[in-house]
Chains A and B, each alone.
Chain A
Amino acid sequence: MPLTVVAACLAAGILLYDTLRSVDEGLNQAILDAAQDEARLIAAALTPMLASDTARTIGAVGTLDAVTREMAGHGRTLRVIRNARRESGEAEFLVAAHPEALDGDLPSIRAKLAASTAAGLDRSGCKGSARLAERLEAPGGTPEILAAATVVPGGGYCWTILVGWTAAPLIEGSIGRAYWQTPEMRRGAWILVSLATILIGASVWREGVGRRTSPHDPVRSAPLPSIAAISGPMAVAPGGAASERLREAAEASLLAARAPLSTLGAALEPLRESVRANDVRAATALDIAERSVGRLRRLLDSGSALDDFSADLASPRGDVIDLRKRVADLVFDYHAESSARGLSLSYEAIQAAPVLGRERLVDGVVTTLIDDALHASRSGDVLRVAVRVDESHGGASLLIEVPDHAGDPPDAAEGVEQPKPDARPPLWLASRHLQAMGGRLVASRRDDGTLAITAHWPAVS
């Protein structure tokens, strides 16, 4: 079983990875396309200034600097470089840079030019544009993604225009780095590992409980073996202490998983507020993260419910229950629904009869039986619910009577006492829970056709 779970987790992880990667790569391509267009547009805007011979004059350089300053900002970086003429051996100048380049930034700029050349940009040919995805670290500065480079002629020289980004959502994204290094994938891996840990823990626990069960135990061949393995009285009773320790471990795991999940959920809130509406990539990443957190929360809630359930079944006769009062309360809760269906629901408590059980298990049995009876009834029917002393076996009984209907299958009462694959799961489950408390469920058809379902609880000894 653990191998199956691990395989399932891996398969789910690979599918998730593949889906997220294809979505993310599509977005990255769109972003880089836009960057290349942006670089071309900027180059076109600067070309008249660069084409003039006055580009070498101090005033013209000042104007170029002011214009590029306007074009940069909001996370966009711009570098304008006048290339050396091939034959002259002249110097290659960094003419304008925004944000301003410090002396220590020049290696980074050289790296950008090298990346542009490696990407196939013909800098000496004075034309062309390249789409890049290079991550560069400016010494003492912010990390930057070099997105695009364009070369244009002007004033007898070639000019290279480099466009990059320092915007946080892009820096944190997957452009220019291996996809598994992205924060989304690391978060996803954390969730996957947590899920795998919980699932493997649960599987190991169930295997441990299952091994204590006789191979001939009918529980093993029940139609719902996974539930039967947990709920069968033979399965729980012999290994009670061990199963309790495992249950406590599972409970501790659930509690431990809730804290980082809450932190993650809280950390997403300010991100949601700061993400701009037009930042599609960041918004999509946030949606994915929030949906994952929601799913994990629901999984933990289910785990908690299962934990409570297993706690009850580990000691199914731990409390003294006032059956008369519990049933009265539950019947009261059903009055509105029965009225809405046009049914009359009568309740009769002949004698107070305390029984041994667990409140959640008792409630589960009673509500399952009433639910089932309501669904088998028709408008105008009278449903009788009664609690009385079980005179033949001692203890207490809950009796529910459902009027006869010609449409009922003749063996509707079957499958209650002897589980079989086509038995109705709710009644069968109620039967198993009742067995866990030492009781039994009996269904019989009277002469007038009324279906009588009786749940017996043993006496408090």
Chain B
Amino acid sequence: MQGGTGETTLRPPARIDIDPEGLVGRSEAQLELALGKAHRREPIASGVNWIYDRTDCRASFLLLPEVSSGERRVFGYEITSRGGEAPSAPACLGRIAGDAQSRRS
């Protein structure tokens, strides 16, 4: 599989870190485009909580209605690590996005 055999090596897709602050204020469609479909959606306050679960981290995004348009947008987030080699928040989001991309392709 390596060296001069001429065979190509299969590598996992390149992952880019995603800054969670950049997602604040995004609409449901934009969040889904960035991170894929949420694994779970739970109602909270006047909005809904989108939850993405991985074995090494978990990301939650709270979407609340915007007064002027009525559209739900990201109000805040929480990212928690799991296990010993827990990724940073941007890395966690990058991995979630990578997972979504893999599912799509």
Task: Point out residues on A near B: beta carbons under 8 Å.
Answer: 56-59, 61-62, 64-65, 81-82, 90-97, 100-101, 103, 106, 109-110, 113
Give the residues from 24 to 63 in chain B that come closer than 8 angstroms, CB to CB, to chain A. Answer: 25, 44-46, 49, 60, 62
Nearest residue (CB) in B for A110 is B67
Q: Which residues of B contact A94 (CB under 8 A)?
A: 46, 64-67
Q: Tell me the B residues contacting A by CB distance below 8 Å.
A: 25, 44-46, 49, 60, 62, 64-68, 70, 73, 75-78
Across the two chains, which residue of chain A brings its CB closest to B49?
A58
- Enumerate chain A residues within 8 angstroms of B76, measured Cβ to Cβ: 56-58, 61
CA distance A341 to B98 in the complex (A): 112
Q: Could you list 10 further interchain pairs (A-B, Cβ under 8 angstroms) beyond the known A61-B62, A96-B45? A: A56-B76, A58-B49, A58-B78, A91-B25, A92-B66, A94-B66, A94-B67, A95-B75, A101-B65, A110-B68
The residue from A59, A64, A90, A93 contacting B65, defined by CB atoms under 8 A apart: A93
User: B77 to chain A: closest CB distance in Å?
Assistant: 8
Q: A56-B76, A106-B70 are in contact. Are A62 and B65 (CB under 8 A)?
A: no
Q: How far is the CB of B34 from chain A (nearest CB, A)?
A: 17
A/B interface sample: 28 pairs, CB < 8 A: A56-B75, A56-B76, A57-B76, A57-B78, A58-B44, A58-B78, A59-B78, A61-B62, A61-B64, A61-B75, A62-B45, A64-B45, A65-B44, A82-B75, A91-B68, A92-B66, A92-B68, A93-B67, A93-B73, A94-B46, A94-B67, A95-B45, A95-B46, A95-B64, A96-B45, A97-B46, A100-B46, A103-B70
Name the CB-closest residue of A to B51.
A58
Inter-chain CA distance A62–B62, complex, in Å, is 10
Could you tell me if B60 and A58 are in contact, using CB atoms closer than 8 angstroms?
yes
Main secondary structure of the interface of B (DSSP, over half): strand
A100: nearest chain-B partner, CB-CB:
B46
Which residues of chain A are near B60, meaning CB under 8 Å?
58
Q: Is the CB of A81 within 8 A of B67?
A: yes
Which of B46, B62, B68 has the largest count of A CB atoms less than 10 A from its CB?
B46
Complex CA gap A94/B70 in Å reads 9
Which residues of B lie under 8 Å from residue A64 when comparing CB positions? 45
One of B49, B64, B67, B73 near A109 (C-beta < 8 A) = B67
Q: State in angstroms the CA–CA spacing of A100 and B44 once bound together.
A: 11
CA distance A103 to B65 in the complex (A): 8
The answer to whether A91 touches B66, judged by C-beta atoms less than 8 angstroms apart, is: yes
Shortest distance between the CB of B47 and any CB in chain A (Å) = 8
User: Which of A57, A59, A62, A106 is close to B67, meaning CB atoms less than 8 Å apart?
Assistant: A106
Q: In the complex, what distance in Å separates the CA atom of A118 from the CA atom of B86?
A: 51
Contact A62 B44 (CB under 8 A): yes
Interchain CA distance A92-B67 in the complex, whole Å: 6
Q: A56-B76, A62-B44, A101-B46 are in contact. Are A90 and B67 (CB under 8 A)?
A: no
Known contacts A58-B78, A61-B75, A100-B46; is-contact A93 B64 (Cβ 8 Å): yes
